Structure 1
Amino acid sequence: GGIMHGCQSCRNTEFENVYKHRLRQIFFMPMLACSRRSVDDMAHLTALLLASVLVFVLSATPTLSIITGGGGATARQSTSLNHGAARTYVVLVEPPAHAHHADEAAHRRWHESFLRPGSRPGRTAGGDAPTIRHSYTGVFSGFAAKLTEDELAAVSRKRGFVRAFPERRVPLMTTRTPGFLGLDAKQGVWNATNYGEGVIVGLLDTGIAASHRSFGDEGMPPPPAKWKGKCQAPVRCNNKLVGLVSLMGGNDTTDAVGHGTHTAGTAAGHFVDGVSAFGLGKGTAAGIAPGAHLAMYKVCDGEGCFESDILAGMDAAVKDGVDVLSLSLGGPSIPLDKDLIAIGAFGVMSKGVLVVCAGGNSGPTPSTLSNEAPWILTVGAGSVDRSYRATVRLGDGEAFDGESLTQDKRFSSKAYPLYYPQGTSYCDYFDGVNITGKVVVCDTETPLPPLNSIQAVQAAGGAGVVFINEADFGYTIVVEKYYNLPMSQVTATDGAKIMGYARVGSTAAAHTATILFNSSIVHVKPAPIVAAFSSRGPNAASPGVLKPDIMAPGLNILAAWPSMVPIDGTESYSYNVASGTSMAAPHATGIVALVKKAHPDWSPSAVKSAIMTTSSTADNAGHPIMDEEHRKASFYSIGAGHVDAAKAVDPGLVYDLDVGDYSAYICGLLGEPAMKTITGNSSLTCAAVGSIPEAQLNYPAILVPLSEKPFKAKRTVTNVGLAMSVYTAHLDVPKWLKVKVEPESLEFTSAMEKKTFTVTVSSGGGDGDADAGQLAEGSLRWVSEDHVVRSPIIADARVVPT
């Protein structure tokens, strides 16, 4: 499984947990992912959001795949005297006889039959008898129950048993972004789709602050008649928030973390005027689909999310009638037939609902993605064109633009002595060092400055602090609200210059600095830039399918926040800035809602295709999107490109797929047993559905092996634009890559007409390019008078021909 959810208990950026865990896994013994260098840090971390989660598989039996890790992942356990530790398993079983006529009660009785006395060893007095925790009927047939190894063995011998998975616990992974995505309140796609009215957006998350202004229902109609959801008492639904339930046991749907409120506000928050966070970023807050309805399924808390609860949330959402389902959570890559999120998402997709998932926060390391199944829309994170500007001006006149959410404009009126503590450059302590009234320059080990360093500077009387960004994060600066200490975070490149100046200055005047706070600045260029933490391909679970699919805003995102959840340890706010692919996923979810409003009969894959083929590979300066090091970003970083909400509702052509296509793809990738597991249909055979190699899956991206031997990939497009239209093929590829498209034009005479074409790719030798012969990237554009339908072409020597 792979879910990179923000672990609320760590910080307000989902990737830091993963980053610190990765370092410690390499250099030290395993330890809790949320650990810090001081108890004070932990107290702070448990109050804040880390928007992404690591998932680990803890297997109870040798027949099940095992992935272990120290990142705080645990299994739900209790102890039984005679049968050892019991843990929660998700058990897949055949549907009951006459399943189509069976009601919920009949399904539950069937599931309970696997636990009946006489078919399993009894527990001793005082032991908890196995009971059904969740009964699944919407996305697949199965149940969750706490079982010992003996009890699991007994269940597995019963007729109808398919497979059991030990559940994993997965940690968790706006006023400006609608405008950045081309959404305008007075014209364009918002008007054309009536802001997503009537579409129901479901989220699996940490709950929601139901009374928040972003979830008011002024001017909104009731949900459509198909809606079957409810709000769990004591919360009462309104026309915006139409569903709110906890799948974790009990009735507490409160968001004590902040993560769920933030993602819900990003996806479909109502218009709220005069919004800011800490006095910054002032404007009108709105989600990407502000007219859509919201349904929140609480499956996570500050400790993470159990898979059995996540599946229960999927099951409930499908039965209730959501139109799109958003999951800002995930974990490391494992085979798709062992990934319960992928299996559950397949069931959701088969009901006509697209699942949108965070791609993970383990970047910039390659092959670190979460949620890699092709039936999921996997979202990477990029920057937006807004900066919380905090410029460091040195005594010699040089200035370096940084960012900060802790802005005190009174601080900018004078220059302060600048000090770099070479012996304690991480600013852990200042014993015997006088920093009173000085601006202190500090190194950082992580993308976010550690709280104990800030506290140490404050306690020692420092006037302000300049934090130097961790080198691997390049030009990505992640901001967070820190008490009231004036500060600026700068890139490693600029930090090195500031540090050098502080070290070699020979006079008091040369050692001064001040921080100029400019509130928030918009229309910053270039944007978007890939966020350093955003996980990268290639797709480890399926190397022949491009992931991530798309990139959306996920860096320093301003959105709704529960006022009951302190941000800086002392004060309460209704809006907060957070970062991570957890923030990117709801942006894409909102766009899915707008496309569904415009085209309610489109399949999940058609909606996904529309978003991918209309995306952009250019930034707002007209240049190719760059990564965190300001190099041209690979498709393994941005997917097809950055989302373009305005164009997604009118793509012209779509690459469509159905359950049968995906089933054949699974046969080709993993074989028949895996296909039966993922589809939940044990009577289905690969002989019946066929076998589709990865490269031949009708995906909106073309990823093929790179070799001198020509390789052909076939694709079929469906005309969803003008009935009478002609599209001509245009190729943008490196000169040394040989690509041929046949036919070179597609002529349509009716709506929904399909046309098939082939793309033949081979290497023509190198031209001095460092990647020549190993990796080549380009694009195929089908161009008509009204549309441009673009698909990435990736030729990778690491991909094995199939």
Structure 2
Amino acid sequence: MSILFSLMLFLSPPDLSLIIEVEDDPQETVEMLETYYPQIDILEVYDTIFNGIAIQTDQRNLQKLRKQPFIKKTYPAQTYQALRDTGNINQSIPFILQEQLPYTGKGVKVGVIDTGIDYTHPDLQASYQGGYDLVDLDDDPMETKVEQGIPTTHGTHVAGIIAANGKMTGIAPEAELYAYRALGPGGAGNSIQVMAAIERAVKDGMDIINLSLGNSINGPDWPTSVAVNRAAEFGVTVVIANGNTGPDLWTVGSPATASQVVSVGASTPELQQPYLYDRFQQKRIEIVPMEGSVPWDFTKDVKVTTDLQQLQGHDKILITERSDIPFAQLAIEAEQQGAAALLIANKEPGLFQGAVEADVSIPVAAISKEDGDWLTDHPGYLLLEHEPVSDTITDFSSRGPVTVNWAIKPEIVAPGAEIVSTVPEGYQALSGTSMAAPHVAGILALIKEAHPDWTPAQLKAALLTTAHPLDGYQPVEQGAGKVDPQAAIETDTLIYQSLLSFGQRTDLSEQVSAKLVVENVSQQTQQYKFSLPPQEQEIRFQLPPSFQLEPNEKRELTIQATIRTNSQSEGINQGYLYLNDRPLPYMYVTDQAEVPQVMGLELSVTPLDDHYYYKLYLVEEAKRLTIDLYDPQTFAFVATVDEAEDVPQGVWEGEIQEEELLERPYIANITIETKAGEVYQYQTGWGG
């Protein structure tokens, strides 16, 4: 499943562990604390991609620290949630590793920043080498167990895809696995924990880091995006799940928005996709089986109903509408009432993905609002059917592009649907870009073993240069296309900056350009020739002539184009050029594109001063920003939280003056007035 953003307030227990961001040298801060506050335990020092310290102390000592000027921030309350129904990794892995390769990832260090790893699992014992827990701040990065809160499995599943070495075999079974637990009970953690985990992994000398987590901030300069770019600058290849909020555009979130990482979308391996069919009405109902539910395996027609009274003693499928009630609770109640299966209809157009985190013995699936309405009006009998699918982009896989810098994301795709891997005490099938990313992390371990001197830029270029675009999909859905491990290992050419973004274009006609670098990494002279795509009226390319490169020679090239826009232009114009047979995705955005202007509201409390804050992200500079709260039941206006003028682009933080506005849930309506006089509104949850 995917790791998703949620909102929470940080509440300090009597004895508290904190990660504190400091203004100056963290070593000097440590010396000061050891001298003047000997009762405070210094747990960690972070001075690489993050500037801070981890401490543990009681409330009395925290009171003494309140006024210290060295404190910049303490634990923002923004939460990350782990990004995540019957296959086998032995189905997805042979699908992309179609020939036996002489590489196993031996000697390559892979850090998994996630919910921890069950290192006692028999398939992971050989690969696991250690790690750190950024939640409890100790050396035991075990998954959350039931006695500690809501138990987790996500990190163990990710780890198995990368390097399982037992009953199941991962992509790189002899890679060295390290766990960095940044997400605690229920798969939740905050951005400082994630950034501190990245810092620790860099210091521990990881070659590759996998982050199957993210948030809803579609911007390149959110702190976690900056942090992973810094990790790449230190020589670490960072792989990040693109997110699970597709199929809409602009849904990729930080840190997958970072420019120097490998952002991974989800495609389908070979699988049997279930759907429901009304033979009398000749109506097909698309279903998305919920993660954790039992398989759909009906062998006869089954009646559907929305009436609980009709369930007792009959094999019927109950249809209910998506609400604030957890999916697991809906499933338990449906099973107790006698339902044979449960369909949960969306409240909004389109499909969605969900999980059933409970022991339920009936199949549960999501359906669209449109199909839910149709079934309510036509409560007939449905037959379960299956169809083979492969090499499609999953609906849940988040799409690009990125706001502000207009980058193409994802950059590559890998299997992420119905992937069985290791979990505590066994195996489980999960779906999500969380499952796609570790396939790529494992492949990078194989490439790193084959080419130990290659830099993160070379490793990334090998992946993108040799990918295969899937038919019927655009660059903002798949980037360069489907990963090809063998071709990436054996490539004779590396193309850097191969995803060509021509930015946002508003003039009626203008010349644009983008640069790329081609490197011949073979021992033979190589000939290169561009293939011109079908010429369109809106974009005309002027491509470099054919050229050759000697062994180990590099050349920078300029791709030029003339772009003409008008009122009929597409919001996003995109396609593929080719250098020989190597894909070069291109894209530009016009003023017809519906670009989101604000996103990602989070709430936090600073434990050292009890101040409450909100933080959000603005895509463009705003003339005015207003946050109003409304009652979620009556939609009556409650209060204005804040008003601000001349708000700059990027991360914006404001203080919440009335604490009582955090005590119950509201709907927050954020109104942005742009410099051009346009008004944009965005609604999201608040408080509670």
**TM-score, structure 2 normalization:** 0.72
In the other structure, the counterpart of 1:795 is 588
Matched-pair contact (CA < 8 Å) for 1:705–1:711:
no
Matched-pair contact (CA < 8 Å) for 1:383–1:531:
no
Q: Is 1:546 the counterpart of 2:431 in the alignment?
A: no
SS at match of 1:300: coil
Measured after TM superposition, the shift of residue 325 of structure 1 is: 0.7
Q: Which amino acid aligns with 2:162?
A: A
Matched-pair contact (CA < 8 Å) for 1:419–1:440:
yes
In the other structure, the counterpart of 1:528 is 392
Residues 765/154 of structure 1: CA separation in 2 closer, same or farther (3 Å cut): closer
Residues 472/480 of structure 1: CA separation in 2 closer, same or farther (3 Å cut): farther
In the other structure, the counterpart of 1:427 is none
Cα distance in 2 between the residues matched to 1:609 and 1:152: 48
SS at match of 1:616: coil
In the other structure, the counterpart of 2:677 is none
Q: Is 1:265 the counterpart of 2:105 in the alignment?
A: no
Measured after TM superposition, the shift of residue 483 of structure 1 is: 2.4
SS at match of 2:574: strand
Matching residue within 426, 429, 449 for 1:577: 429
In the other structure, the counterpart of 2:674 is none
In the other structure, the counterpart of 2:28 is 110
Matched-pair contact (CA < 8 Å) for 1:87–1:148:
no
Cα distance in 2 between the residues matched to 1:608 and 1:470: 40
Matching residue within 457, 474, 486 for 1:646: 486
In the other structure, the counterpart of 1:746 is 547
Q: Deviations over 1:38-61 (max 9, x none)?
A: xxxxxxxxxxxxxx131xxxxxxx
Cα distance in 1 between the residues matched to 2:519 and 2:457: 12
Residues 206/144 of structure 1: CA separation in 2 closer, same or farther (3 Å cut): same
Q: Which amino acid aligns with 2:517?
A: T
Residues 703/480 of structure 1: CA separation in 2 closer, same or farther (3 Å cut): farther
Structure 2 unaligned residues grouped into runs of 5+: 84-88, 145-151, 594-619, 621-688
Residues 109/471 of structure 1: CA separation in 2 closer, same or farther (3 Å cut): closer
Cα distance in 1 between the residues matched to 2:325 and 2:197: 32
Matched-pair contact (CA < 8 Å) for 1:746–1:755:
no
Cα distance in 1 between the residues matched to 2:339 and 2:4: 35
In the other structure, the counterpart of 2:443 is 591
Measured after TM superposition, the shift of residue 790 of structure 1 is: 1.7
Q: Counterparts of 1:71-150 in structure 2 under 5 Å? A: 71-75=6-10, 77=12, 88-91=19-22, 93-94=24-25, 109-115=27-33, 131-139=41-49, 142-145=52-55
Measured after TM superposition, the shift of residue 391 of structure 1 is: 5.0
Matched-pair contact (CA < 8 Å) for 1:324–1:589:
yes
Matching residue within 463, 467, 472 for 1:624: 472
Matched-pair contact (CA < 8 Å) for 1:111–1:135:
no
Q: Is 1:778 the counterpart of 2:630 in the alignment?
A: no
Q: Counterparts of 1:32-47 in structure 2 under 5 Å? A: none
Cα distance in 2 between the residues matched to 1:202 and 1:648: 21
SS at match of 2:392: coil
Q: Which amino acid aligns with 1:73?
A: M
Matching residue within 255, 261, 275 for 2:143: 255
Residues 792/153 of structure 1: CA separation in 2 closer, same or farther (3 Å cut): farther
Measured after TM superposition, the shift of residue 793 of structure 1 is: 0.8
Q: Is 1:357 the counterpart of 2:240 in the alignment?
A: yes
In the other structure, the counterpart of 2:130 is 243
Q: Deviations over 1:191-225 (max 9, x none)?
A: 14x222222211112222223232254xxxxxxxx
Q: Counterparts of 1:489-508 in structure 2 under 5 Å? A: 498-502=375-379
Cα distance in 2 between the residues matched to 1:389 and 1:539: 33
Matched-pair contact (CA < 8 Å) for 1:328–1:358:
yes
Residues 73/436 of structure 1: CA separation in 2 closer, same or farther (3 Å cut): same
Q: Which amino acid aligns with 1:717?
A: V
Cα distance in 2 between the residues matched to 1:477 and 1:204: 22
Structure (1/2) with the larger helix percentage: 1
Q: Deviations over 1:221-274 (max 9, x none)?
A: xxxxxxxxxxxxxxxxxxx222243333245432231011100011222252xx
Measured after TM superposition, the shift of residue 514 of structure 1 is: 5.1
Q: Counterparts of 1:418-429 in structure 2 under 5 Å? A: 418-421=303-306
Cα distance in 1 between the residues matched to 2:414 and 2:551: 33
In the other structure, the counterpart of 2:557 is 757
Matching residue within 73, 79, 82 for 1:172: 82
Q: Which amino acid aligns with 1:556?
A: E
In the other structure, the counterpart of 1:456 is 333
Q: Deviations over 1:295-354 (max 9, x none)?
A: 212222224224444344333323333210111122232866650x33432342233111
Structure 1 unaligned residues grouped into runs of 5+: 1-12, 15-51, 55-70, 95-107, 123-127, 158-162, 218-239, 273-284, 425-429, 503-510, 564-573, 626-633, 657-697
Measured after TM superposition, the shift of residue 92 of structure 1 is: 5.5
Matched-pair contact (CA < 8 Å) for 2:542–2:560:
yes
Q: Deviations over 1:426-479 (max 9, x none)?
A: xxxx3x555431413414427999233333333233344455567644497989
Residues 212/448 of structure 1: CA separation in 2 closer, same or farther (3 Å cut): farther
Structure 1 vs Structure 2: percent identity of aligned residues?
Answer: 24
Cα distance in 1 between the residues matched to 2:132 and 2:30: 24
Matching residue within 417, 422, 435 for 1:560: 422
Matched-pair contact (CA < 8 Å) for 1:443–1:469:
no
In the other structure, the counterpart of 2:217 is 333
Matched-pair contact (CA < 8 Å) for 1:88–1:167:
no
In the other structure, the counterpart of 2:671 is none
Measured after TM superposition, the shift of residue 544 of structure 1 is: 3.3
Matched-pair contact (CA < 8 Å) for 1:382–1:553:
yes
Measured after TM superposition, the shift of residue 726 of structure 1 is: 0.9
Matched-pair contact (CA < 8 Å) for 1:447–1:473:
no
Q: Which amino acid aligns with 1:562?
A: P
Cα distance in 2 between the residues matched to 1:149 and 1:723: 68
Cα distance in 1 between the residues matched to 2:81 and 2:463: 28
In the other structure, the counterpart of 2:623 is none
Q: Which amino acid aligns with 1:650?
A: E
Cα distance in 2 between the residues matched to 1:478 and 1:388: 17
Matching residue within 322, 346, 351 for 2:229: 346
Matched-pair contact (CA < 8 Å) for 1:469–1:477:
no
**TM-score, structure 1 normalization:** 0.63
Q: Deviations over 1:686-714 (max 9, x none)?
A: xxxxxxxxxxxx46433334341111222
Q: Which amino acid aligns with 2:512?
A: F
Structure (1/2) with the larger strand percentage: 2
Aligned residues: 567
Residues 402/774 of structure 1: CA separation in 2 closer, same or farther (3 Å cut): closer
Cα distance in 1 between the residues matched to 2:423 and 2:539: 51
Measured after TM superposition, the shift of residue 642 of structure 1 is: 2.8
Matched-pair contact (CA < 8 Å) for 2:320–2:342:
no
Q: Deviations over 1:534-571 (max 9, x none)?
A: 3332313x4232222222222322111112xxxxxxxx
Cα distance in 2 between the residues matched to 1:581 and 1:415: 33
Q: Is 1:316 the counterpart of 2:316 in the alignment?
A: no
Q: Which amino acid aligns with 1:757?
A: L
Q: Counterparts of 1:128-527 in structure 2 under 5 Å? A: 131-139=41-49, 142-145=52-55, 151=65, 154-156=68-70, 164=73, 166-168=75-77, 169-173=79-83, 174-181=89-96, 183-184=97-98, 187=99, 190-192=100-102, 194-217=103-126, 240-247=127-134, 248-256=136-144, 257-270=152-165, 272=167, 285-303=168-186, 304-333=188-217, 339=223, 341-368=224-251, 369-371=253-255, 372-387=257-272, 389=274, 391-392=276-277, 394=279, 406-407=294-295, 412=299, 415-416=301-302, 418-421=303-306, 430=308, 432-433=309-310, 435-445=312-322, 450-466=327-343, 472-474=349-351, 483-485=360-362, 498-502=375-379, 511-513=380-382, 515=384, 524-525=388-389, 527=391
Matched-pair contact (CA < 8 Å) for 1:419–1:435:
no
Cα distance in 2 between the residues matched to 1:88 and 1:781: 48
Matched-pair contact (CA < 8 Å) for 2:106–2:175:
yes
Cα distance in 1 between the residues matched to 2:355 and 2:568: 31
Q: Which amino acid aligns with 2:330?
A: S
SS at match of 2:82: coil
